[in-house]
């Protein structure tokens, strides 16, 4: 009866079940997966959302790409980041997820392929499946910092490839795409008529000074059809107001053809509310204080984690930006047992690497958005867990888990909603 775009079953995964049980018993949880900024003990100006009540929004003026003042405000955001983007090439959306759905409709027929980075944002599984497109992965490799494995891109390209997704900085690896990498990817895509979609929602949050400015940005490309994605959800910590955007770039004729088609798609849905468009400029301007708090929080937590883990058996992988950190931990038990055990024994909730398709075990992903005291407490539990387990004579490292076992757990994680829990 139901389409294959949605999973056939919705089984909860072990981690979600353990979390429900713990909460039902009233036991405390140190949540190191927190990615909802509105629950992260930040100081939001109480009247921040007052612009949503602007009486100008009482008039409905349906514009497929959004009201021009709001699009100009987004263009100023790019200007702030040192980029020149015309408001004519900006399309407002209800969220980044909405932007993905619009772009997949624009670029791909059912059964076509959109290449996705691995490891990366778990929601890509659903975002692509819901548009009936396939999502073969290409790899990011770690050699002291993360880089695109171009051989894996070459291998993944087929005559059904319609776009390559880039997340910069990536969730969870924290890696920005470099200018050289983007040049190389653009050359590969341009000759094959493949578009680049770059999710830049975390672009304002650099963990390594200078990394954002030196990253490759698609909005200035003229050689390949490209789409940059951003939104209020991360840039000013307001996921609930639902405003995202797409900035189109590339050869003029291709951009024109893409905008004609996008106009039809956007006009069909008109999904962005008028109050948020009227308020956009003010929200972007007044949200600066929230952005500053988030930047301070993620930077402080990252530096603390890097220094503490340096003296332990866990390794904090180098991150250049974003809201997440990756801890490589000793493989003394399967990742799933590890995260469930950490929750049951220590009350610490983390995400296992397999949620993000890490190529092998064992990794934990922690959110740097967590309030500092809770972050330190939770990380201290993790580090103690390993240093004690290893010292207690736990068995030597297990071999990497078999791919099929990992896939099965990820599938049940999808059914149980775990990737959604990583998306707020």
Ligand X SMILES: Cc1ncc(COP(=O)(O)O)c(C=O)c1O
| 231 contributes a contact to ligand X by CB under 6 A | yes
Task: Give the shortest CB-365-to-ligand X separation in angstroms.
Answer: 11
Which residues in the 50-69 window bind ligand X by CB under 6 A? none
Residue count of the chain: 424
Angle at alpha carbon of residue 419, lines to 194 and 381, rounded to 5°: 125
Residue of 73, 140, 201, 247 interacting with ligand X (CB under 6 A): 201
Residues 307-336, interacting with ligand X (CB under 6 A):
none
Nearest to 131 by CA among 110, 159, 113: 110
* Residue 412 is a binding residue for ligand X (CB under 6 A): no
State yes or no: residue 235 binds ligand X (CB under 6 A). no
233: left (phi over 0), alpha (psi -120 to 50) or beta: alpha
**Site for ligand X contains 167 (CB under 6 A):** yes
Is the sign of the CA dihedral 63, 65, 66, 69 positive or negative? negative
Q: Which stretch binds ligand X (CB under 6 A): 54-62, 91-99, 342-350, 404-412?
A: 91-99
Question: Is 423 a binder of ligand X (CB under 6 A)?
Answer: yes
| Distance from C-alpha of 113 to C-alpha of 131, rounded to nearest angstrom | 11
Contact, 271 vs 98, CB < 8 A?
yes
Q: Which of the 8 DSSP states describes residue 175?
A: P
34: left (phi over 0), alpha (psi -120 to 50) or beta: beta
Region from 90-98, 205-213, 247-255, 355-363 binding ligand X, contact rule CB under 6 A: 90-98
* Shortest spacing between CB 281 and ligand X, in angstroms: 18
| Candidate segments 89-97, 348-356, 358-366, 409-417, binder of ligand X by CB under 6 A | 89-97
Least Cα distance to 344 among 27, 12, 33 occurs for 27
| DSSP β-bridge partners for residue 348 | 30
Q: Is 70 in the site for ligand X (CB under 6 A)?
A: no
13 binds ligand X (CB under 6 A): no
Residue 137 engages ligand X in binding (rule: CB under 6 A): no
Give residue for tokens 């003229």: 222
Using CB under 6 A as the binding rule, whether residue 199 contacts ligand X is answered as: yes
**Which residue ranges make up the site for ligand X (CB under 6 A)?**
35, 95-97, 121, 167, 171, 199, 201, 231, 233, 239, 244, 423
């Amino acid at each position: 009866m139901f389409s294959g775009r949605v999973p056939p079953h919705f089984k909860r995964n072990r981690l979600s079940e353990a979390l429900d049980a713990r909460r039902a018993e009233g036991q405390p949880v140190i949540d190191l997966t927190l990615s909802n900024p509105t629950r992260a003990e930040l100081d939001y100006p109480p009247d921040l959302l007052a612009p949503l009540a602007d009486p100008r929004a009482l008039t409905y003026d349906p514009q497929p790409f959004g009201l021009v003042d709001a699009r100009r405000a987004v263009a100023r955001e790019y200007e702030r980041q040192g980029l020149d983007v015309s408001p004519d090439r900006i399309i407002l959306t209800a969220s980044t997820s909405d932007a993905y759905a619009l772009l997949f409709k624009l670029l791909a027929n059912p059964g076509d392929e959109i290449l996705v980075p691995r490891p990366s944002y778990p929601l890509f599984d659903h975002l692509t499946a819901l548009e009936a497109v396939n999502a073969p992965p290409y790899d990011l490799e770690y050699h002291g910092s993360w880089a695109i494995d171009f051989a894996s891109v070459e291998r993944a390209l087929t005559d059904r490839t319609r776009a390559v997704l880039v997340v910069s900085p990536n969730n969870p690896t924290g890696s920005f795409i470099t200018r050289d990498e983007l040049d190389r990817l653009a050359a590969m895509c341009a000759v094959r008529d493949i578009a680049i979609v770059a999710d830049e929602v975390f672009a304002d949050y650099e963990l390594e000074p200078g990394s954002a400015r030196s990253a490759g940005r698609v909005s200035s490309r003229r050689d390949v059809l490209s789409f940059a994605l951003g939104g209020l959800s991360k840039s000013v910590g307001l996921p609930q107001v639902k405003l995202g955007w797409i900035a189109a770039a590339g050869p003029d004729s291709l951009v024109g053809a893409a905008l004609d088609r996008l106009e039809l798609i956007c006009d069909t849905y008109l999904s962005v509310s008028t109050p948020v468009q009227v308020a956009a400029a003010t929200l972007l301007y007044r949200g600066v204080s929230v952005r500053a708090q988030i930047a301070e929080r993620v930077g402080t937590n990252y530096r603390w984690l890097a220094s503490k883990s340096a003296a332990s058996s866990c390794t904090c992988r180098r991150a250049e930006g974003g809201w997440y950190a990756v801890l490589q931990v000793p493989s003394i038990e399967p990742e799933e047992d590890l995260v469930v055990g950490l929750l049951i024994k220590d009350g610490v909730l983390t995400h296992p690497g397999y949620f993000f398709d890490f190529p092998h075990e064992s990794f934990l992903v922690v959110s740097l958005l967590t309030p500092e005291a809770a972050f330190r407490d939770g990380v201290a539990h993790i580090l103690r867990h390993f240093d004690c387990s290893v010292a207690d004579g736990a068995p030597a490292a297990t071999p990497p888990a078999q791919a099929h076992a990992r896939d099965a757990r990820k599938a049940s994680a999808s059914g149980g909603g775990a990737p959604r829990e990583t998306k707020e």
